[in-house]
């Protein structure tokens, strides 16, 4: 029996849509052959693969489905984009621009490149985690080959002024990658309007399976494959495809494209309610999420005088799942680099809860919040 657990940690894991489950189960039963095989069974699989690509490309409004490379998730997409662009363009220069609040996928990819002789400018952000596009313009040199700034931040929900930055990178002819893993399928994303060259995304934020994602590669953008091998994915990524996962992602993308406005409205309503209810339950806190231009499903709250990890574990006893920071950073005891970068003290950073909502969250959200003070009292701080 599954326990009834309240999930306020959707950013770590969204449940699969019923239609996604159905599509994946049907794919498992069907036993598709290898899309690269040239006989009939291979062709059937290839048709489904390419149809899935069209659907996924539609979610981000790519002009050509071939601009979408299927990957094993957001982290692979980011590695492919950052390392692939840097290595492919080394002859032009070895300077990369990024921000101080990127996901570890970007930070650690860039760290590898530093070991290979690349130099990096990492931009400061304001108290809401925003990058100033003028800073990007100032940082670009003749050696700059890549700008990598995330679309939305997974700890604060901050959405960056990507279109403005893209205007600058286009003018300067520098490749622009954005990590949009927590944005695609959550807020409207249109790669044509945004003007980015590379965009990383994953399937789970829009209720598709984990371990599947995509990289948008604008036609003409020079990027080495991360995974070299066969000629799959238009020669951009070797390896037999995770077709079951891709079919699941496509099923999710189809629904996300249709329901996005409805989903957005639901999340915005819940988030407002959450923000309004907070003072009833908690005395001293800081909201780290910007009031405007932020993810509709994320609220980062630093509660004064507490240790977020303890609150998380106590809420867990009451069957409420929350997160103190990115699930990917588990095991690290240091305060989040994102929260320090927006100017929080170490104490406030440690007292931070990241509450993330989903379509399965109901209007009774405040009910769960009511449990928080009970727990805080257990900590003898309230």
- Closest CB to a second copy among 214 and 290? 214
- Closest CB to a second copy among 41 and 269? 41
Q: Which residue in 177, 169, 32, 40 sits closest to 103, CA to CA?
A: 177
361 is catalytic: no
- Closest CB to a second copy among 195 and 308? 308
Q: Which of 328, 340, 371, 381 is catalytic?
A: 328
Residue 92 CB, nearest approach to a second copy (Å): 15
Residue 146 CB, nearest approach to a second copy (Å): 16
Residue 86 CB, nearest approach to a second copy (Å): 12
Residue 231 CB, nearest approach to a second copy (Å): 5
Q: Which residues contact 198 (CB under 8 A, 6 or more apart)?
A: 81, 85, 175, 176, 177, 178, 215, 216, 217, 218, 221, 223
Burial bucket for residue 159 (CB in 10 Å: 0-12, 13-18, 19+) = buried
- Closest CB to a second copy among 188 and 239? 239
Residue 105 CB, nearest approach to a second copy (Å): 4
- Residue 323 is given by DSSP the state B
User: Nearest 5°: CA angle at 79, between 194 and 112?
Assistant: 125
CA-to-CA distance for 210 and 235, rounded, in angstroms? 24
Q: Which residue in 296, 316, 288, 303 sits closest to 356, CA to CA?
A: 296
User: How are beta strands 68-71 and 119-123 bridged, if at all?
Assistant: unpaired
- Closest CB to a second copy among 28 and 134? 28
Alpha-helical regions (H) of the chain: 18-30, 40-60, 74-88, 104-115, 133-139, 162-171, 191-194, 232-235, 243-281, 308-317, 337-341, 346-350, 365-369, 371-378
Catalytic residue positions, numbered: 328
């Amino acid at each position: 029996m599954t326990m009834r657990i309240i999930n306020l940690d959707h950013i770590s894991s969204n449940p699969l849509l019923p239609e996604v489950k159905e599509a994946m189960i049907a794919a498992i039963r069907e036993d598709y052959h290898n899309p690269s095989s040239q006989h009939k069974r291979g062709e059937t699989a290839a048709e489904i693969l390419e149809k899935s690509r069209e659907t996924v490309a539609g979610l981000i409004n790519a002009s050509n489905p071939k601009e979408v490379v299927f990957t094993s998730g957001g982290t692979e997409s980011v590695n492919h984009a950052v390392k692939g662009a840097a290595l492919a363009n080394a002859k032009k220069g070895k300077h990369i621009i990024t921000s101080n609040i990127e996901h570890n996928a970007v930070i650690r990819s860039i760290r590898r490149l530093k070991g290979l002789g690349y130099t990096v400018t990492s931009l400061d952000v304001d108290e809401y985690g925003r990058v100033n596009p003028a800073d990007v313009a100032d940082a670009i040199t003749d050696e700059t080959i890549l700008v990598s700034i995330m679309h939305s931040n997974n700890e604060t929900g901050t959405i960056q002024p990507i279109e403005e930055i893209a205007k600058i990178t286009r003018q300067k002819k520098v490749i622009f990658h954005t990590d949009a893993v927590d944005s695609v399928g959550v807020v409207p994303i249109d790669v044509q309007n945004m003007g980015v060259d590379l965009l990383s995304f994953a399937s789970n934020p829009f209720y598709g399976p984990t371990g599947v994602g995509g990289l948008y590669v604008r036609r003409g953008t020079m990027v080495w494959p991360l995974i070299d091998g066969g000629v799959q994915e238009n020669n951009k990524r070797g390896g037999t495809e995770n077709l079951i996962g891709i079919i699941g992602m496509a099923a999710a993308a189809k629904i996300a494209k249709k329901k996005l406005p409805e989903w957005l409205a639901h999340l915005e309503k819940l988030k407002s309610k959450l923000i309004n209810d907070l003072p009833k339950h908690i005395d001293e806190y800081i909201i780290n999420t910007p009031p405007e231009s932020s993810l509709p499903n994320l609220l980062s709250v630093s509660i004064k005088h507490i240790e977020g990890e303890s609150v998380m574990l106590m809420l867990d006893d009451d069957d409420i799942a929350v997160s103190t920071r990115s699930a990917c950073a588990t095991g690290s005891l240091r305060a989040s680099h994102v929260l320090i970068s927006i100017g929080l003290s170490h104490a406030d950073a440690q007292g931070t809860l990241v509450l993330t909502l989903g379509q399965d969250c109901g209007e009774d959200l405040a009910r769960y919040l009511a449990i928080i003070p009970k727990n805080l009292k257990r900590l003898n701080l309230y």
